[in-house]
Structure formats: structure tokens, C-alpha cells
Structure 1
Amino acid sequence: MGNRRRVVERRKTKPAVVGGMIAVVVVGAGFGAYALYGGGAAADDGTGSTSASADHKHVKTGPLSAAEVDTAAHGFLTAWQQGKVPQAAAVTSDVNAATALLTGYTKDAHITGVTLTEGTRTGDKVPFSVKGTVSYKGTSKPLAYRSSLTVVRNKATGKPQVDWHSAVVHPDLKDGDTLVTGESGTPPVKAYDRDGGELTTAKYPSLGPVLDGLREKYGKIAGGKAGVELRVVRGKESGKAKLSDKTLLALSEGTPGKVKTTLSPTLEAAAEQQVAGKPRSSVVVMRPSTGEILAVANNSHGFNVAFQGSLAPGSTMKVVTSTMLFEKDLVHPNDSHPCPKTYKLAGWTFHNDAGSEIKKGTFKLSFGASCNNAFIDFSPKLSNSDLTREAQQVYGLGLNNWAIGVPSFDGSVPVQSGAQMGASLIGQGGVRMNPLNMASVSSTVAAGSFHQPYLVSPSVDNRTLAKAARTMSSTTQAELKDVMSYTARYGTAAKAMAGLGSGCGAKTGSAEVDGQEKPNGWFTAYCGDLAASGVVQAGGHGGDTAGPIVAALLRMGG
């Protein structure tokens, strides 16, 4: 089979043996183990090694040969195309899951006339294209998309098999999701920006997940009428990740309802442009005085990292940590406070970036330089739950009660002890955030109190927005603005924030990730009545990566 493109066709001839290998995989109704693996106790695959013997004492191991990958892939795709679900599922790593999804492909999704065309194999991965027809109650539309599969060796039998995931059937499927064609339970919606312009993925490419979320939330109350469509219905795991159902093909459009959002057309367009140039980047802009979300954009147009990401925020978390330290009267911006090169806590040795230290300086200097150990050395004076309480009570984080209008992750600051508690103070350990959360942190500093971010006005559906248990004192707010302003003018954020004036504050962050060469770069800032935060995953230092994205949007005002 080599690397040639070919269309899987039904063959009625018996397999021809060429050089000891099976050249044709499918043999009508006789498709099975013999067709895939040559039958017999030990079949030669052209490599000189043998597969498992009849008594399974000798199980083949090692990398798959090209012939094994081609044979397994071709066999699976041929059986699927011919509607032979048991045979197709039998050569996967999860027979039950494959059987259920492939059965539903015809029964529930109503997809017929399937043609599968293999592309060029790369190692153990085989891409393929899918063409078929979706038919429902007299209405039909063609369907076409691309997918891929990976072949692995079964550890028990030594035989090659398709590594089963739902994404093999369609790339938009997560494991546990299903495909369904029928009258949609949720009418479509048309979403509009704050000025009345329609929001589309053609105009704003990364808004796909947001528009899906708006339909799921408001479709039934926005005045629309449901149409007929092929859609992804999310399963348990996708539900936990707050992924919305997704329309793949509309057979009849239905009548969309209308939903107005808080997005600014100029800021949204600028945000899309900013993330387009930086892989794995995400950004959120909001208004501190109200909580309105003015822009959201992701370089990747699939998962909405900006709203639903769960990432260690690195040193941007020091804003929350500093709030706690100021309120507890443990330190204040101009207090003398060294930042040692290393600090030992519960068996861990913490280091500063590039092995730096500040022997004589103020806490404000350490904040501006993002010197880690100036924060971690407060650990003995703190209880395990202090940071968690601060994040929840003042910043509204980690309570899972934000209602922004679409699915979101509200941050997490778990109670931890020992070295992990120390790591939490600098945004590592178990702390998890996304740009929405960190934009809200800067927004809270700018406004002096927490205003839950929202994308759709609560008046649309009479929902209740989350509130913080308490408000920071005016003294604490002034101290936070002092250290963040210093950072924006003279510290690690100065380069990105250059020229933005005195009414701005910022904090950079770099979050180390196991197995990742470069850290995730974070940046959070405010200017007047705008606040924003961004992340560039595996980008490096936040001041150099996420900083320019955030600063460019703050320069637009609004």
C-alpha cells in the first residue's frame, strides 16, 4: 500500500500474497483475523520477525512496520465503509466504544453512502478523508471532512490495532461524545456586539466556542425556532470540561434568536489580530467599573483557553498574595525586605529567576522585579488556608459560581500545606487560572472591589452575578496600585507598558510546566477603566510574550 493515496473499495476477490504479505485486506464477509494478520500460527510481515504463536508464548513486540500500519488502517477503514461495524470495532483498542459510536454513526447521525479515502501515512498515523450524505425526514445534505487514526501494537497479542478515540470518527468528538441528526433541541442564535454588529466566526475566527456557548445558554429564550442539524452531543467528560454541543451541518437552518453581548467590535477585532501572530496565545479585556467583557480571543480556535483554561498563573498570582500580606499587616510596599537567592521550605529549595537576589531593597522592589523568595519567605507566618480565603473573599475566585453567559472556569486556589503552599504564593503548586480570571484580578485592583465579569447582561435572563464576601480597604487598594504602577514603569512590565501613562499598573508572570522547555508567559494589567490579561503557552517570560498583546489593547482605550 505504501504512501499512495487510494479509495477504500469493496473487493470480492481473495487476497493476493506478494512477498509473504497480504496485499488486499477485505475478503467480503470473510473479513477477520486472517485477512488482517495473514492467519496461521505465525505470519511473516516482511521484517523477518514473527507474530504470536498459537499458544501465545511468543508475543511480537517492537515498533510497527509500515506494512502492519497500512494493513490495520486499511482493514478498519474498509470495514467501516462497508458498514461492517463488528469487524471494524474488532481491530480497535476499545471494541465496545468503537461499536457504539460506529453504530450511532448510521443509526443516530443518519450518515450514509460513506466513502473513506486514505492519505499519506506518517509513521504510525494515517490521515483519511470522509465523504457521505446526511439524510433526515426527506432532507439530505452532503458531508465532507478529514480525520486520522493511529495504529498501535496490542501488548497482549502483539498485533497492530487502531488506537481508539472518538476523534477517529470525527475530529470534533471527545471520548464519550456522540453524533446525532435531528431537530435541534436548541434553536440557533445570532449574537451581536455592544454596538449592534453581528458576531460571526468569519469576522472573528476565535469566537466559535463563545457562539456555541451562547446558543446553548440562550437558544431557547432568545425567540428562535429550532432547525434540523447534525451535531456533536457532549458526553460526561466533555460536560465536566464545560464544552458545549456543536453543530457540524445544518440541514435546515431554523430561525435564529438574537443575543446582545458586551463585546466591543474595535477591541475584539484588535484582540483577534494580536493573538493571530503568537501561537497558543489568549487574551481577555474587561471594564473594571462594571465587569463587562469587552474582548476575548484565542490563537487556537478550538478550546476556549481564555475563559476555560486551567493553567498555573505564575507570578501574576503575586497580586493576590500581596493583597493578603498587606491586609495581614505583614509587609507594606516601602518596607525593607530582602529577597534571598534560595529559600528552603519543607524539603524544597526555591530559586529566583536566573538565580537573582535582592540583598537590600523594599518589598515594592521585589514585587517589581518579581523576586520569588520575597513572597515564599512569608510561609511560616501564614496558615494553609490564608491564600485560599483571600482569593475567594476579595477576588471571587475558586467558588465555581460565576455566571458570565457562556461556560467558564472560575479559577482554583486549593488549600495546601508545606512546600506546595509556598509554591501557591507565587502562582505555582495547585493554583489554576485563565486570562479571564487574571483580568478580573487586575480589574478588582483598579475598581477597588470585585465585579463578576460577564459577556451577556444579567437582565437578559435574570441570572444572579457572583459577589465577593468583602471588599479590600482603600489603603490596601492604594498599596496594590503603588506596587503595580511601579512594575509598569520600572519593573518587569516596563518594556511592554512603555508610554501608557501613570494611571496604569501591571504584573508579569512565568509559570513553569513539567516537560515544557519554556514557561507559560503571563501578563495582567489595568489602565483607567480597562483591565486585561493574556497568556502565551510555552512562550517564555510574560513581559516579552503576553505583555505586548495586553499593552496593545490597553493603548486603544475605550
Structure 2
Amino acid sequence: MRSGTRAAVVGGVFAVLIGTAGCGGGSAASGSKGSTGGADEKPAAEQVKTGPPSADEAKSTAADFLAAWAAGDSAKAAGLTDDAESATAALASFRRDAHVTKLALKAGRGSGTSVPFTANARIAYAGQQAPLAYSSALTVVRDEVSGRPVVKWRPSVVHPKLGPGDSLRTGPADAPPIKALDRHGKELRAADHPALKSVLAGLRERYGKKAGGKAGVETWISRAKGNGGKARPDETLKVLSKGTPGTLKTTLDAGLQTVAEQAVNKRAKASVVAVKPSTGEILAVANSPANGFNAALQGSYAPGSTMKVISSALLIDKGLARYGKPHPCPKYFSYGGWKFQNDKKFEISGGSFEQSFARSCNTAFISQAPKLSDDALTKEARDVFGIGLNWQAGVPTFDGAVPVQKDAPKAASLIGQGGVRMNPLNMASVAATARTGVFRQPYLVSPSLDGRTLAKAPRSLKPSTSKQLRDLMRLTATSGTAAQAMSGVPGDIGAKTGSAEVDGQEKPNGWFTAYRGDLAAAAVVPAGGHGGDSAGPIVAQVLRAG
């Protein structure tokens, strides 16, 4: 045990006691045996310990590290990690930027080389003080060069919510708080709508100052910036003094938001988005789990056969397919060195294009790949459906990707595999464009508030193509693969199912996109299986409520 610390086991809890004199030297400092200097002494390289640290080594190393950190000796604590430079900077920032004046750390009962611990900090800023308590964990590994047990450095050691480049800060908040309202003037609170927590944080970060509020003093996680800004909004951990919130009106519908959250919560993992086709306004955003990554707006998944909405528009525009006309749906089709097949190897002999669409025949689309240029699908997705344009929704979004590809990947893109990537926001927009014939960029806050320019697609769907798409989606919703999920959904409806294979995943990701009148929605259920069975009920529940 290192000087200045001692450890005690009390009631099964390994407690680090700070500031108590102890014996010098420590087993945590070296994994090699002492040398007598005799003639039979082995070379130092052979004395270096290997293999995972023992449970005793993990306890001892964790105790030394936590003791040094609690005492404010960042250099000493960092020296007990496998990345002293990064650890020194992070631990120093914890004291300096978060304004931590006192810190007590207590290790819990670990499992193997993993040691959980609790942190109780005291924050002081401009005459105001507040406690900050949380739990985290560290892992002890063996240094390959010295053989010493050391703490594997990760930002989450400092706080479990910290990622690479993130930091804890205390001071006047970067943005004043907001009072977010739905389209009818009802307040949207994270307590009532947990799935909106990250969305509300993103809106505050972007519009807090514009909404007219006054910032208070807070402790928060400052997220790292990447290409194009922050992938996630900052997160408030502690409010030392409340600010004055400004009022921000959104396009969301509180009632529909509640339904969307109820729908995704039936699954361990799922996401859904609802939009208004006539305007592009986002009406609901929900993820399960609610406190996870905002996959509904920022996810990047292969969309499977929901992509056939865009592919059908392309084939119709190019004169390669038409509603009511014969179209091949063989059991197999080979292209670019790959052999493609339909689900359960079905085929439609002498069938029509609408039958292939309604039953989601893969080969009906793959067979047309030889007749298309490599960039044809990319252009259709971008120029008609707005995919890949720079959307300005009011919060960070991933705006879809349909890269130019060749050979087999080009064919796979036609059925939503290959390099194609989408999320529920993108696919809800695709259904909305199919419904109206015009791409209207989805958004959460009116562009009039900050003067931003919404993305515009270079052209609309051709009237004939638009009508055929609606007919194809209506047939699918009433008698095709989407019929079971859409049963009982009234009005003018259309839908498309999708199942996207993922390497190493037993079941495919389930997709579903549909519209009912002036409401469009899309959902994804990772590893959910067939889209009609997994994502379909989620979308249908939202459409019925709308």
C-alpha cells in the first residue's frame, strides 16, 4: 500500500481511508520479486509478471489510485494508470473545471479485476456550494512492460457519463433553460416524456439564448465536438442556482408523443418518428430505452426493404417498372458475383410489379441493377427524397446515406442493404414524400426563429410516379406484407415493411414505414425480426392515434 493511505475491509466493503499514515512500499507498485543479486539471478525481463492481476492486486491498486485522486494528487493517481498523460489532464480538469473542493471515494466489492466505487464531491462556485454524488467503476489490468497492475484509463472512471473528449464543468450555463411547448402550447417536460430528454437538451443548447431566458449556475457534462458539431447535447448534472427559462414552441404533439413512447416501450429496443407530410413538422420522437442513444434521429441502419419505396420511384422514372405491368420475380438472381434470393426462396411466376412490391420480392429489384448506372439510386434518393442533404431540423440529425456503389453492393442497395443507411426520421420522411409527391424537410422548430434554411430537393416526384407509389403502398397496407399490422387503421393509408440483415446478428432489424392521411411514421426494432411483426405494430399504434 502506498504511503499516506491504508485500507480496511468493513462489512464486505473495501473502503479507502484518506490522509492516514501507513507503511511505505506497496505490492501495487511492482509485480516482480525482490532480487538478492546472487549469481543465479534471472534477467529482469524474465521476472516481469504476466497475465491478469489477482483480486488482491486489483483491490490494492484501486485503493492507491482512489486515495491519490481523493487527496488531489492527480500526478500520482495518473501514474497508477496505463495512460498517465490522459489521466493527468482529466483528473486535473475534474478539480479545476468542475470546481470540486472536496472528494471522498469509497471502493465497493469488486468482481475479478473490476472495482466499483462511489464518489461524493463538494462543488463550490462563486459563493455557492452543492454536493455531487455518483457511482462509477474502474478496471485493473497488468502493464505489459513493467508487469505492474494499473488502472485501465477511460474517461468514465471520472464519471460514468463521460466519453472521449468530454469534461465536467461548473459555472454559468452555456445556454439558459427553456420551457419547451408543443404545437398546442402544452409544456413538454422530461419528467412527463422521458424519451424527449436528449431532444429537449439539444433544443436548449441551440435555442436557449434565442428563447430569451437567463442562465443559472450548473455542473454539466460538456460533450466533445466532432465533425459538424456535437453528436450529443451537453447534460446538466447539478443546478447550483436556477436560471430563468425562455419559452420555445416546437412542432411536437404532446398527445402523439405519449402514444409513441407507449408504443416503443413494448420493446426493449425500438425507435419511432412521426411527421406531418404537408409541412415536414416532426410530431413525435421516441426511443426505447428512453435514456439511450437517440437512434430515432441520429441512428444509422440499413433500412432493408423499406428502401424499395425509393427504388420503385427510380425504376418507374427509368421506365423499368410500372404498376399493372408484368415484372420478373425469380427465386434467385445473380449479379456482381453475388447470388441473391427472396425470403424463403419464394418466386412469383408471371407476376406484376405491384405483386412484387406488396410481397417484397428482392429479385424483382436486383434484376434491374444491370440496367442502372452506378449513381442512379444515389441521385433519386437525394434529388427527389432529400436523403443526404444537410437537414436543419433544430437538433442534430443523421440525414441518411445512399452512396454510389458498383457491382453487387449496387444491387444490394436497391433492397436497402449494401452501404445504404437510414433512421426512422429519414424513413418517415420517405413515406411522407411518397404520400405528397414533394420532399419537405422534417423540423422540430420553425426556421423563422433563427432564419435557418431548410433543405430542398431539386425536384418533386413525377405525377405518374407519385400516383403509382401511393397505389403500391396502399396495396401493401391492405393485402401485402404490411396488411396485418395496418389492419383497422382507417383512411387513406400506405405502408412498406423491411427486414435488414446484420452480420453476427441472429435476427434481422425490423423496419416499417407508413402513412395515414397527413401523418407519416417509421420505426425500427433492432434484432426484431420481420418488420411487419416487430416495427409494424409500433407505427400502426401511432397512426391510429393521429
Determine if the TM-score, normalized by the shorter chain, exceeds 0.5: yes
* Distance in 2 (alpha carbons) for counterparts of 1:187 and 1:36: 47
Structure 2 CA distance for partners of 1:184 and 1:332, relative to 1, 3 Å? same
Deviation at 1:94, TM superposition (A): 2.1
* Distance in 1 (alpha carbons) for counterparts of 2:391 and 2:490: 32
Q: State the one-letter code of the partner of 2:366.
A: I
Q: State the one-letter code of the partner of 1:8.
A: V
Q: State the one-letter code of the partner of 2:368.
A: F
Partner of 1:322: 312
Match among 370, 375, 390 for residue 385 of structure 1: 375
Q: State the one-letter code of the partner of 2:311.
A: T
What percentage of residue pairs aligned between the two structures are identical? 54
Q: State the one-letter code of the partner of 1:7.
A: A
Matches within 5 A, 1:241-320: 242-300=231-289, 301-320=291-310
Partner of 1:207: 196
Structure 2 CA distance for partners of 1:519 and 1:461, relative to 1, 3 Å? same
Partner of 2:467: 478
> Is 2:122 aligned against 1:114?
no
Structure 2 CA distance for partners of 1:385 and 1:37, relative to 1, 3 Å? same
Deviates more, 1:215-224 or 1:347-356: 347-356
Secondary structure of 1:395's partner? coil
Deviation at 1:343, TM superposition (A): 2.4
* Distance in 2 (alpha carbons) for counterparts of 1:492 and 1:151: 52
Secondary structure of 1:224's partner? coil
Match among 5, 8, 15 for residue 13 of structure 2: 5
Deviation at 1:60, TM superposition (A): 4.2
Secondary structure of 1:302's partner? coil
Structure 2 CA distance for partners of 1:495 and 1:71, relative to 1, 3 Å? farther
> Is 2:132 aligned against 1:170?
no
Structure 2: 5+ residue stretches without partners:
1-8, 36-41
Q: State the one-letter code of the partner of 2:407.
A: G
Partner of 2:343: 353
Partner of 1:161: 150
Q: State the one-letter code of the partner of 2:174.
A: G
**Deviation digits for residues 68-102 of structure 1, max 9, x if unmatched?**
33333333222222222122212323221111111
Deviation at 1:457, TM superposition (A): 1.2
> Is 2:539 aligned against 1:550?
yes
**Deviation digits for residues 147-186 of structure 1, max 9, x if unmatched?**
2223334344444332322122112211011111111222
**Structure 2 contact 329–364 (Cα < 8 Å) conserved:** yes
Partner of 1:47: none
> Is 2:144 aligned against 1:136?
no
Deviates more, 1:125-134 or 1:103-112: 125-134
* Distance in 2 (alpha carbons) for counterparts of 1:241 and 1:538: 28
Structure 2 CA distance for partners of 1:462 and 1:73, relative to 1, 3 Å? same
Q: State the one-letter code of the partner of 1:143.
A: L
Partner of 1:368: 358
Structure 2 CA distance for partners of 1:187 and 1:55, relative to 1, 3 Å? same
Matches within 5 A, 1:508-547: 508-547=497-536
* Distance in 2 (alpha carbons) for counterparts of 1:86 and 1:279: 43
Secondary structure of 2:131's partner? strand
Deviation at 1:35, TM superposition (A): 4.0
Partner of 2:448: 459
**Deviation digits for residues 481-530 of structure 1, max 9, x if unmatched?**
11111111122111111111461111111112222222211111001010
Structure 1: 5+ residue stretches without partners:
16-26, 44-52
* Distance in 1 (alpha carbons) for counterparts of 2:176 and 2:383: 38
* Distance in 2 (alpha carbons) for counterparts of 1:341 and 1:350: 9
Deviation at 1:349, TM superposition (A): 2.2
**Structure 1 contact 2–70 (Cα < 8 Å) conserved:** no
Partner of 1:81: 70
**Deviation digits for residues 341-384 of structure 1, max 9, x if unmatched?**
33222222223223333333222222122222221121111111
* Distance in 2 (alpha carbons) for counterparts of 1:69 and 1:374: 59
Q: State the one-letter code of the partner of 1:531.
A: A
Deviation at 1:273, TM superposition (A): 1.2
**Deviation digits for residues 305-359 of structure 1, max 9, x if unmatched?**
1111111111111111111111111111322223233322222222322333333
Deviates more, 1:66-75 or 1:128-137: 66-75
* Distance in 1 (alpha carbons) for counterparts of 2:492 and 2:429: 17
Partner of 1:423: 412
* Distance in 2 (alpha carbons) for counterparts of 1:125 and 1:360: 63
Partner of 2:38: none
* Distance in 1 (alpha carbons) for counterparts of 2:113 and 2:228: 31
Match among 380, 388, 391 for residue 402 of structure 1: 391
Structure 2 CA distance for partners of 1:403 and 1:545, relative to 1, 3 Å? same
What is the CA RMSD across the aligned residues, in angstroms?
Answer: 2.1
Structure 2 CA distance for partners of 1:550 and 1:430, relative to 1, 3 Å? same
**Structure 2 contact 33–47 (Cα < 8 Å) conserved:** no
* Distance in 1 (alpha carbons) for counterparts of 2:266 and 2:112: 30
Secondary structure of 1:316's partner? helix
Secondary structure of 2:532's partner? coil
Secondary structure of 1:440's partner? helix
Structure 2 CA distance for partners of 1:539 and 1:103, relative to 1, 3 Å? same
Partner of 1:22: none
Secondary structure of 1:460's partner? coil
Partner of 1:335: 325
Structure 2 CA distance for partners of 1:226 and 1:340, relative to 1, 3 Å? same
Structure 2 CA distance for partners of 1:345 and 1:223, relative to 1, 3 Å? same
Q: State the one-letter code of the partner of 2:342.
A: N
Paired residues, what number? 531
Deviation at 1:414, TM superposition (A): 1.0
Q: TM-score, normalised by structure 2?
A: 0.92
Deviation at 1:58, TM superposition (A): 5.8
Secondary structure of 1:230's partner? strand
Q: State the one-letter code of the partner of 1:500.
A: V
